Amino acid sequence: MSKLLHALARRLAAGGFDAVARHGDRLGALLWHCLPGRRRQAAQAIARHLGVTQQEAERIARESFAHNARSFLELVLVDRFGLEQTGTRLIIDNPELFARLYGSQRPVVAATAHLGAWEFMASLLGQWRPDHPRMVVVRRNGNRTLNDFIFAMRGAQGVQVVDHRNAVFTVLKGLKRNGCAGFLVDHNCRRDEAIFLPFLGETAAVNMGPALLAVRAEAEVWPAFLVRECDRYRLLIDEPLDTATLDGDRADKVEAVARFYTEAVERAVRAHPEQWFWMHKRWKTRPKQGD
């Protein structure tokens, strides 16, 4: 099975970026027709949280299926995407801020979301200061063969892929060496992992893990997102939060950091709603009654 997956990946990658985009659009259309439950869930979430009409919500939802299918297939091109394409396939929205990020001599926590070409964030992170630790923290897939394939694809540019269940020691050690760790911070999580914060007008369970690690390492927290613009990709970077400057006890600092990256994700989703993963049950975990 592993050999078959890698053979299929090589064949798909041989077609390049244009082929992956075409196949992604087709796969998205197929999923739209084959997953009516997810389709309804996405459209309802969009209508409720963006305040748009049902017709507009369905349009955004359908586009999001195509974008997310492309994200899945772009995994096979992680080793072909990078900074060498700046000015052609890659557009850096704020070059001065980007230069600050890549030149930072501090521990860095990069916060991103399931938005746009998020798999390619591993490509860019893999090229960040190769003499320092570079890690992405991801959730393990239940299928071991598929999980190993995904980890191999994500690590193709030299980034270390870390299972979220065993991330604390590895990530903290890397950050203490002024490394960089990337996290997807927009997914639902268990109540014992969560801080409950507003997100798109409704209370959501926000994973406190990236915030806690950033505070413990006194890291800079940089929100970054890679959105698609036709056949190109635009890197959006927000001003960072320096956790070393925060006031209060550890709990106060962790909440401030979690709020910071949650608000950054919300801005990105509102700006590019068709590129976010709306089929995810983002608001599933609820606070205990009375909290």
The string of pLDDT tens digits covering residues 27-50 is 999 999 999 999 999 999 999 999
Task: Work out the burial of residue 19: count CB atoms within 10 Å of its CB; fewer than 13 is exposed, 13-18 middle, 19 or more buried.
Answer: middle
Q: What is the mean pLDDT of residues 208-230?
A: 97
> pLDDT by residue (tens digit) across 122-178?
999 999 888 899 999 998 888 889 888 999 999 999 999 999 888 899 999 999 999
> pLDDT by residue (tens digit) across 245-255?
999 999 999 99
Q: What is the mean pLDDT of residues 60-79?
A: 96
pLDDT at 175: 96
Q: Is the pLDDT of residue 16 over 80?
A: yes
> pLDDT by residue (tens digit) across 93-132?
999 999 999 888 999 999 999 999 999 999 999 998 888 9
pLDDT at 142: 80
Question: Do 222 and 236 contact (CB within 8 A), yes or no?
Answer: no
Tell me, rounded to whole angstroms, the distance of Cα 37 from its chain centroid: 24
> pLDDT by residue (tens digit) across 191-212?
999 999 999 999 999 999 999 9
Q: How many CA atoms lie within 13 A of 13 on its CB side?
A: 15
Of the candidates 214, 208, 230, 235, the residue with the CA atom closest to the CA atom of residue 124: 235
pLDDT at 179: 96
pLDDT at 289: 75
- Dist CA 16 CA 258 (whole Å): 37
pLDDT at 143: 85
* Domain spans in the chain, listed from the N-terminal domain onward: 2-275
The confidence band for 290, taking pLDDT boundaries of 50, 70 and 90, is low
The confidence band for 1, taking pLDDT boundaries of 50, 70 and 90, is confident
pLDDT at 54: 96
- Dist CA 167 CA 165 (whole Å): 6
When the pLDDT of each residue in the chain is averaged and rounded to a whole number, the result is 94
Question: Do 228 and 89 contact (CB within 8 A), yes or no?
Answer: no
- Provide the whole-model pTM: 0.95
Question: Do 86 and 56 contact (CB within 8 A), yes or no?
Answer: no
